[in-house]
Structure 1
Amino acid sequence: MLDFLEDLGHGIYAIDTGFQRPRFDAAYLMVEDGHAAFIDTGTNHAVPRLLAALTALGLGTDAVDWVIPTHVHLDHAGGVGLLTQALPQARVLVHPRGLRHMVDPKALWLSALTVYGEEEMQRSYGKLVPVPAERAEASHDGQVIQLAGRPLRLIDTPGHARHHHAIWDARSRSWFTGDTFGLSYRGFDVDGRAWILPTSTPVQFEPEALKATVARLLAAEPLAMLVTHYGRIGGSVAEVQRLAAEMLVQVDEMVALAESVRSAPDRHEQLKAALLGGYLARLRAHGHPAGADAADWLAMDAELNAQGLEVMLDHPAR
């Protein structure tokens, strides 16, 4: 099997998209009776890997019925348009708040461009390709679609972003959670136990909405969560609940931290340093040495989470 393709069982495969570093950003491929669906795609640069995964599993490009980004952040959906060009039968299913951005990605591009600049945008994402309007549709809360008779249920999952939905697969008793169930890097596993942290990436982090979303996900008693960053976590209902509790405690701590430095002149630097220090302390309590490599790995998350918390402070959700 390809070194970036991992068989998770139940016809589900994780594809390492190659974004930023190994085992950081996953796309998922579900295969059922000769039909397939992609859930999240990574960036344009991931598309050759996604197509290679189909070939490796003996599937043609016409086998793909669905492309479903969990939300329209570019590490999840940046490759949707380019991928769809190669999949003649696929329909794109997007949260209603994100649909227009898939059909006309200009605003997405310009928003990211102001943060990263042209050179970094081309390096990390490539030029965004629109999805033809006739091939894209909006999801709705509670919607059930079929993959060769295999039901997949979509629910609205705000908290990380308002344009976010999650996908329930009853066969594996798993949620494809995008970023609503946080981040969990396999390099931080200790004795097979995962470590988790929330993501407040700007610009729509809403803590109370996120808590409600997590409660709704847990109500299905999932055996596992399939997170984009990175892979399958859980393995039992109890383990998923443990991870959820650990993440939600951190959400409350992050909000309290943000409030405590609301008026500080060096607010961003204080937030970033405190977040990173907290991650490393929690990692050590988890049994990981949490040395310089871990600090380097988590520096970007501390930066982005600090940015998101500041947006939350300055623009409270209505």
Structure 2
Amino acid sequence: MKILLANPRGFCAGVNMAIQCLEECVRMFGDNIHVYHEIVHNKYVVERFTKLGVRFVDEVSDVPEGAILVYSAHGVSPAIRQQARDRKLQTIDATCPLVTKVHMEAIRYARQGYNIVLIGHEGHDEVVGTMGEAPESITLVDTPEDVEKLSFAPDAKLAYLTQTTLSVEEAGRLIAKLKERYPQIESPPKEDICYATTNRQHAVAQLTERADVVLVLGSQNSSNSQRLKEIAKSLGRPAYLIDGAGEIQEDWFTEDNNVLITAGASAPEVVVQEVVNYLKTTFNAELEEVVTREEHVTFPLPKELRQLQLSN
């Protein structure tokens, strides 16, 4: 067996920042930390912080008045921020800057009188937060059929935005369909899909032809991880989205397989290495790491946290 280990893989700059932010909060404040939803969509990460005493909540009302609340990497709506102010919570915003960029674009387009078409998956935390910025101005589309159902006038003042973790190809099809129906539709100055999402998809698209089986490390509720699995499957390879080595089934492989391993942007490297070690031990696999693109992006810790560090 041969392992093709995709690089880049795993944590993006936004996830790195959010996790470092929460680690620093735990260091500074102990276990009196609450996070609105999951800090990132990864089971391993959430379980690790839960063991450290961090509490993940779905309602701001579940956070005691005056406590610390961290906003997840996916961002939140203005309504959630107001609820936190009403409860006098000390908030730390770990929203990925690339998600914040989409929020700012939504606000700008709404103020300029545009109807905004948001391409994304209904119910995803990022989509909920973005739509909350201008709910009266945003219409969500998830499929080509959704685009066909749009009822805007042919000359309507329109702009589109996208969820940052979409498949580039999937989003491209919907954007093309929108432009076909509404040639005047405005696009954001710079595309919204995250650089890391794009790079991981590019690696899978490039390397899957060399593989017999594809393993994607990531959780089922991770949108960008699901896209990696879908890309591999669309190229005719069996692909499995797993949280770790414990979910692997030996009958997925034969001893002479080439196995491509990658990881979604919220999956930690430790679970990747567990899978690599499992395949080495079980199938005597050899490892080849394949670099398809370089990444050098970093984001600073949230301003509120940096200010608290200075005052401590």
Q: Which has the higher contact order (CA 8 A, sep 6+)?
A: 2
Question: Shared topology, TM-score over 0.5?
Answer: no
What TM-score results when the alignment is normalised by the length of structure 1?
0.32
Larger radius of gyration: 2
